[in-house]
Structure 1
Amino acid sequence: MEFVDIAGASLAVSRIGLGTWSIGGWMWGGSDEAEAIGAIHEAMDRGVNLIDTAPVYGFGHAEEIVGKALKQGGRRERAVIATKAGLEWKDGRPFRNARRERILKEIDDSLRRLQTDVIDIYQVHWPDPETPTAETAGVMAELYRAGKIRAVGVSNFSPEQMEEFSAVAPLHTVQPPYNLFERGAERDILPYAKRKGLTAFAYGAICRGLLSGQITRDTQFSGDDLRNRDPKFQPDRRPQYIAAVERLARFAREAYGKEVIHLALRWALDRGDNIVALWGARKRGQLAPIDGVMGWRLDAGAMAEIDRIIEETVTSPVGPEFMAPP
């Protein structure tokens, strides 16, 4: 496993992190708790120490599962927990609330669910346009000074919002959506993170399973699975993305003897030495490819070939904007 130091925080995190939205079940067609705990243990057994979660993932369920999993076998001491604040929910629907009183309530709830006395990396989940940034950053700075959190992060923030935030509070990490198909972060967020010495947690590194190689043109998604409304999975666009994955898979096998999921994760890591790829999994078997991501790199020629394949196959690309909460 490769690791990266988070500047100013005395934390070293694995360059693959386990994302736990699907473990929480909500918007992923449900989840089995025993399987989810097994997935967390499997990730750590394969060298992953970063577990990224949030209260809104299953409305507390994901954090509870993470807490139970890390309680077993002394795993909490080896794990770096990254969770979030700033979303509230009512009647099964999330909305933004990053006010001081909300975050103060959220951190105590998260500490209880996670069964820990400190959160390693505490992130504002989404910017809240109805709350002054100084108010949100101010309470995060308070928690940092009080020792309740070891590092401060933001998720889905623009460089302008990060600049305003960091005028009030220390800032260590940023979390944008980023993968082979969704590259908007390259325009501004990733260059800003590099300049400022921030570690970037790239979420959706396998694009909600598209880059796993396991999804076909006919794959059906059950229940409330968010892919039922993701434009990339609809009949007019899914064939384009599947065609791209098929060609990328051939390239990975012929050039490196790897699978497309290895290629996708390696691509994310090789876009910058400050990037961590977050990989969502809820079953042990889904984590078997981790070892195949380490020990090799993509050169400039491979990067160019990947770009060419995507340009030729995905003719009407879309991003992850549909996921933003009101």
Structure 2
Amino acid sequence: MEFTQVSDLDFNISRVTLGTWAIGGWQWGGTNEQESIDTILKALNMGVTTIDTAPIYGFGKSEELVGKAVKEYGNRDEIQIATKLGLEWDENENVERNTSRERILKEFEDSLRRLQTDYIDIYQIHWPDLKNDFKETASTMLQLLDRGKIKAIGASNFSVEQMEEFQKYAPIHIAQPPYNLFERGIEKDVLPYCNKNNISLLTYGALCRGLLSGKMDEDWEFKKGDLRKNTDPKFQGETFKKHLRAVDKLKEYASEELDQTVLNLAVRWILDKGVDSAIWGARRPEQVTFDEVAGWKLTDKQIEEIESIVEEIVEDPIAPAFMAPPE
């Protein structure tokens, strides 16, 4: 496993982070608790040290499973737990943004309880909340940092302008935007800004919700409640077929030019584009093959060829904004 330092802080994260959104079950057609725990344990045993979760992933379920797995594994001080704040929900699963001081402090204690820990390594604002003053949010986060309750402050799904405003009141050590071969919007601004300002990039959606796994076809069946079937336009009609054609071409390139799978190509591409750690979601142990992206790199020429394949087939990329909760 490869590792990298977080911003200017005195701790490292693994360059592949285990993502646990799907493990939470909500919007992914349910979950299997033991299978989920086994998945987390396999990742840890493989050398992954960083786990990304959030309260909204299954309305606490993902955090609970991460907490159980980490407790079973032990060595808490060698693991970096990244979780989030700022989304609240009601009994009907309606979700809205809330980063008020009161909400942050409540969420923090709830997360500690579910994760069975007394500190959080990376605490991230899940989505920018424009109803609340950034000063209130940032100052609350800074207090948690100064008290040693968290080790790093993160901002997920923030624009450059929002990060600049937030940093008037508190530092940002980690940014978590979406990034993969089909969703490359951050290349225009967020990626170069973070690289220039020593903000570590922990990007999500490495496999574009399974598209880049190389396992899907036009007849793929999604479980009831799976957001890909009902919400994500990349998985609808002709757009889905077009993305699958691009994956087939990438699969061919990965095999012939690199002797790799398209899945490994997709993650390695992210790591070689200036990203510190790529979040790789898994919900079953057999999906944990993270070690296969370590120890090799893509050349500039190969990166150019890979991007050309996608650009020739997917002429009009769809941004992942459809996943944003209401402001």
Q: TM-score, normalised by structure 2?
A: 0.97
In the alignment, what sits opposite 2:89?
A: 89
Of the three residues 241, 244, 261, the one matched with 1:242 is 244
Distance 2:35 2:163 in 1: 37
1:25 aligns to 2:25 (yes or no)? yes
- Kept after mapping to 1: 8 A contact 2:8/2:198: no
In the TM superposition, residue 74 of structure 1 has moved relative to its aligned partner by 1.1
- Kept after mapping to 2: 8 A contact 1:49/1:78: yes
In the TM superposition, residue 47 of structure 1 has moved relative to its aligned partner by 1.1
In the alignment, what sits opposite 2:253?
A: 251
1:67 aligns to 2:53 (yes or no)? no
Distance 2:11 2:77 in 1: 12
1:112-136 per-residue CA deviation (whole Å, 9 max, x = no partner) reads 0000000000000000010011111
In the TM superposition, residue 217 of structure 1 has moved relative to its aligned partner by 1.1
1:138-175 per-residue CA deviation (whole Å, 9 max, x = no partner) reads 10001111111011011000111111111111210000
Distance 1:9 1:316 in 2: 39
Of the three residues 232, 235, 240, the one matched with 2:234 is 232
Q: How does 1:1-326 map to 2 (within 5 A)?
A: 1-90=1-90, 91-228=92-229, 229-272=231-274, 274-288=275-289, 290-326=290-326
- Kept after mapping to 2: 8 A contact 1:240/1:315: no
Which letter maps to 2:128? P
1:174-216 per-residue CA deviation (whole Å, 9 max, x = no partner) reads 0000001100011111111111101101100010000001111
Question: Could you list the runs of 5+ residues in structure 1 that have no partner in the other structure?
Answer: none
Distance 1:66 1:292 in 2: 23
Distance 2:149 2:307 in 1: 43
- In the TM superposition, structure 1's runs of 4+ consecutive aligned residues that sit over 4 Å from their partners are none
Which letter maps to 2:177? P
Which letter maps to 1:81? I
- Kept after mapping to 1: 8 A contact 2:7/2:174: no
Residue-pair matches, total: 324
Distance 1:315 1:150 in 2: 41
Choose 83-92 or 1-10, whichever is displaced more.
Answer: 1-10
Distance 1:292 1:19 in 2: 17
In the TM superposition, residue 77 of structure 1 has moved relative to its aligned partner by 2.7
- Kept after mapping to 2: 8 A contact 1:86/1:102: yes
1:255-288 per-residue CA deviation (whole Å, 9 max, x = no partner) reads 111000000000000001x421001101100012
Which letter maps to 1:140? M
Q: Aligned with 1:36: secondary structure?
A: helix
Which letter maps to 1:259? T
Q: Aligned with 1:204: secondary structure?
A: coil
In the TM superposition, residue 317 of structure 1 has moved relative to its aligned partner by 2.1
- Kept after mapping to 2: 8 A contact 1:237/1:316: no
Q: TM-score, normalised by structure 1?
A: 0.98
In the TM superposition, residue 315 of structure 1 has moved relative to its aligned partner by 2.7
Distance 2:158 2:125 in 1: 9
Which letter maps to 1:68? K
The percentage of aligned residue pairs carrying the same residue is 53
- Kept after mapping to 1: 8 A contact 2:54/2:62: yes
In the TM superposition, residue 251 of structure 1 has moved relative to its aligned partner by 0.3
Q: Aligned with 2:202: secondary structure?
A: strand
Distance 1:8 1:139 in 2: 21
Distance 2:31 2:264 in 1: 25
In the TM superposition, residue 241 of structure 1 has moved relative to its aligned partner by 0.3
Q: Aligned with 1:59: secondary structure?
A: coil
Which letter maps to 1:10? D
Distance 1:277 1:193 in 2: 15
Distance 2:224 2:299 in 1: 41
- Kept after mapping to 2: 8 A contact 1:20/1:52: yes
- Kept after mapping to 1: 8 A contact 2:180/2:205: yes
Q: Aligned with 1:81: secondary structure?
A: strand
- Kept after mapping to 1: 8 A contact 2:41/2:73: no
In the TM superposition, residue 223 of structure 1 has moved relative to its aligned partner by 1.3
Question: Could you list the runs of 5+ residues in structure 2 that have no partner in the other structure?
Answer: none
